[in-house]
A and B are shown apart, each in its own frame.
Chain A
């Protein structure tokens, strides 16, 4: 089967390509990328005035299976991913059971084999049952295909346990992804600490609870020489700490999510739980700092932190509602709308943050359009505006902060391993 994508603007930072080109896909691989390919093909996708990009790599996704298939399944989550232009994703281990042993890993791998529509990579838990007490058998997990470890949703509180985890992950060359939060400082907070928490009469989560733990995680990683990746950076101080560490030569990378550069705490003033997440939406200054850190490269990656929840868990009293929002289907458009349209990013920068950098950080062979690479390609109409509506989501959950918002940039085709998905908009 030959597929020819014609006349699109191809962006491939890995190969320093940004020009109008054609791409030929043969046997699910990219076989040729050149100007004006004149060849018979089984299928031709005309991409005039469209962007042709490497499929996105989202390194922070909660697929919920096994355990909470009412929120999301591997099948629905990966379909949502493809719709959003995400061809590869990293599944977070906070499932039930958690991915903390070979047995549990096999259950997940089996489910992925059965249900997945996209490339799913697996992040295992750092500690048993994500309790922060006993480090898992990282060597075996690595051998069975795990690409990173994280207790995401929780932080390993004990310095000793975390140090041990870093040491062993260094040996296994496993990336450690840190949910950096000191629960003793964030307590049972539900919104950003400050005027917002005071005004709403809700418990606040201080920026301190995040950046102090970021600093600790980086310090421990430095001691061991392990690779550390800070998940969902939300505040200015964290950015500063990471920036200093990078300048000091420490192997640290980090990510943020579209909600942290699109919204700030003011959105929470109506008690809309679709703006409740952890870490919380911070101040406007923090939001601007995140944008700046993206444009100057301090923040390496945009990931969705896709966290589906049912309406029963979301549409309730603010304090009782679950934390987290869905993001797979809106992350590209949100990033185009907020970053590319505002000239904080050019297309190359966007693709680095959403495809190339996460691939390199995870050590997976994704994120490029090189000849011979898997045919993970998306065709995007960069100008097309659309409104996020509940009924259009493919995810099982619709807890999106972007509902009702107009977004720019629409995925028209997703090719995942050469399989073509055409999206009606």
Chain B
């Protein structure tokens, strides 16, 4: 199959085949980072703009490294230094970046749906690097890539996601991606951090960490943000660790080869013990390495698809979908 999307906005909208294509492409790209010269000219002359409305080091750096290994030029825009503070709208910012003749916007935004909205108003590619509580597709892709690399498959695996499911874009993207690829997903969190009707996404729900670990082939541990808006009664940090923290004792009762993932940065002693984070089950650093390959694949695929759209038979009718269709979705 061919990749035909100019944007990567989330995993919900992708088919099983599209997910497979990204993962297979990422596998090829992983080799590039093992070379002496870790660079290919695939996106030579392309400009990637990292537009970050939320502070993030790891995702931003990972995208930057990925873009550079593809020979793209990278520009970083962070809220502190941008005109956002002066009240420019997201659409205006997007159009300005487009006017600079950039090719891809990689955007992190604190509002759910921001990437979807931006993509409707610009002709360049939009890659969602996390929007509100909605989706963080490349994080989930690299989690799934790591899972597949470590365990040889995704279909039929039992994967548990532990932590603040309600406010987690990582959880949502993982759930969409994993369930589409045939894994069985269990989410585990204190009751207040499980969003309503999550079962309809095709997952099991439990509040018992031992239950979540029991048959799991992998556990993905989310970062807890205790500083969040205070709207939900968060358990105290130590209490959380006692109830939900991943420890060696708990892992002893799990499958022998269970792998432990974390999107980072880890709160040691809250989400998991140091022994787990640094232990044999942990694949956390491999996730970081794989993140480069996955993001290279995504940047390459969307750039290629957009090139085809721009040069395609309907080139003149493309561009701003919003301007032809009116303001409908």
Q: Which residues of A contact B (CB under 8 A)?
A: 187, 193-195, 197-202, 204, 270-272, 274, 311-312, 315-320, 389-390, 398, 403-404
Contact A198 B117 (CB under 8 A): no
User: In the complex, what distance in Å separates the CA atom of A200 from the CA atom of B49?
Assistant: 25
A317 and B326 in contact (CB under 8 A), knowing A194-B197, A201-B133, A201-B169?
no
Contact B89 A318 (CB under 8 A): no
A202 and B112 in contact (CB under 8 A), knowing A272-B328, A274-B328, A316-B90?
yes
A317 and B200 in contact (CB under 8 A), knowing A201-B172, A202-B133?
no
Contact A271 B116 (CB under 8 A): yes
**B-side contacts of A316, CB under 8 Å:** 89-91, 117
Contact A270 B116 (CB under 8 A): yes
Closest beta carbon of chain B to A321's beta carbon, Å: 9
**B-side contacts of A199, CB under 8 Å:** 12, 172, 201
A202 and B132 in contact (CB under 8 A), knowing A197-B195, A320-B111?
yes
Is residue B70 within 8 Å, beta carbon to beta carbon, of the partner chain? no
Q: Would you list the 6 A-B pairs with minimal beta carbon distance, nearest first?
A: A270-B329, A201-B133, A201-B134, A271-B113, A272-B329, A195-B197
Residue total for B at the interface (Cβ-Cβ under 8 A) = 30
**B-side contacts of A320, CB under 8 Å:** 111
A317 and B133 in contact (CB under 8 A), knowing A201-B169, A389-B326, A403-B327?
no
Contact B328 A200 (CB under 8 A): no
A312 and B89 in contact (CB under 8 A), knowing A317-B113, A403-B328?
yes
The digit string for B295-329, where 1 denotes a CB below 8 A from any CB of A, is: 00000000000000000000000000000011111
User: In the complex, what distance in Å separates the CA atom of A204 from the CA atom of B325?
Assistant: 29
User: In the complex, what distance in Å separates the CA atom of A270 from the CA atom of B322?
Assistant: 13
Is residue B196 within 8 Å, beta carbon to beta carbon, of the partner chain? yes
Q: Would you give 29 A-B contacts (Cβ < 8 Å), ordered by A? A: A193-B196, A195-B197, A195-B200, A197-B196, A198-B195, A198-B197, A198-B198, A199-B172, A201-B113, A201-B132, A201-B134, A201-B172, A202-B112, A271-B112, A271-B116, A271-B329, A272-B328, A312-B89, A316-B89, A317-B109, A317-B111, A317-B117, A318-B111, A318-B113, A319-B111, A398-B327, A403-B327, A404-B326, A404-B328
**A-side contacts of B113, CB under 8 Å:** 200-202, 271, 317-319
User: In the complex, what distance in Å separates the CA atom of A58 from the CA atom of B112?
Assistant: 35
**B-side contacts of A311, CB under 8 Å:** 327
A318 and B328 in contact (CB under 8 A), knowing A199-B12, A201-B134, A201-B135?
no
**A-side contacts of B200, CB under 8 Å:** 195, 198
Contact B90 A195 (CB under 8 A): no
A195 and B135 in contact (CB under 8 A), knowing A187-B231, A200-B113?
no
The SS class assigned to the A binding surface is loop
Q: Which residues of B contact A (CB under 8 A)?
A: 12, 89-91, 109, 111-114, 116-117, 131-135, 169, 172, 195-198, 200-201, 231, 325-329
**B-side contacts of A204, CB under 8 Å:** 196
User: In the complex, what distance in Å separates the CA atom of A204 from the CA atom of B90?
Assistant: 24
Most A C-beta atoms less than 10 A away, residue of B111, B135, B198, B231: B111
**B-side contacts of A198, CB under 8 Å:** 195-198, 200-201
Closest beta carbon of chain A to B199's beta carbon, Å: 9
Contact B117 A318 (CB under 8 A): yes
User: In the complex, what distance in Å separates the CA atom of A199 from the CA atom of B326?
Assistant: 25
**A-side contacts of B325, CB under 8 Å:** 404
| 5 more CB-based (< 8 A) A-B contacts, given A198-B195, A201-B113 | A202-B132, A202-B134, A315-B327, A318-B113, A319-B132
Closest beta carbon of chain B to A308's beta carbon, Å: 14
Closest beta carbon of chain A to B298's beta carbon, Å: 20
User: In the complex, what distance in Å separates the CA atom of A204 from the CA atom of B135?
Assistant: 17
User: In the complex, what distance in Å separates the CA atom of A193 from the CA atom of B195?
Assistant: 9
**B-side contacts of A272, CB under 8 Å:** 327-329
**For residue B199, which residue of chain A has the nearest CB?**
A195
**For residue B176, which residue of chain A has the nearest CB?**
A199
User: In the complex, what distance in Å separates the CA atom of A204 from the CA atom of B167?
Assistant: 12
**For residue B200, which residue of chain A has the nearest CB?**
A195
User: In the complex, what distance in Å separates the CA atom of A200 from the CA atom of B172?
Assistant: 9
**B-side contacts of A404, CB under 8 Å:** 325-326, 328
User: In the complex, what distance in Å separates the CA atom of A198 from the CA atom of B166?
Assistant: 7
- Name B134's contact: one of A187, A194, A200, A398 (CB within 8 Å): A200
User: In the complex, what distance in Å separates the CA atom of A403 from the CA atom of B329?
Assistant: 10
**A-side contacts of B329, CB under 8 Å:** 270-272
Contact A390 B326 (CB under 8 A): yes
**B-side contacts of A202, CB under 8 Å:** 112-113, 132-134
A390 and B196 in contact (CB under 8 A), knowing A317-B109, A317-B113?
no
Closest beta carbon of chain B to A413's beta carbon, Å: 28
**For residue B89, which residue of chain A has the nearest CB?**
A316
Contact B231 A194 (CB under 8 A): no
**A-side contacts of B90, CB under 8 Å:** 316-317
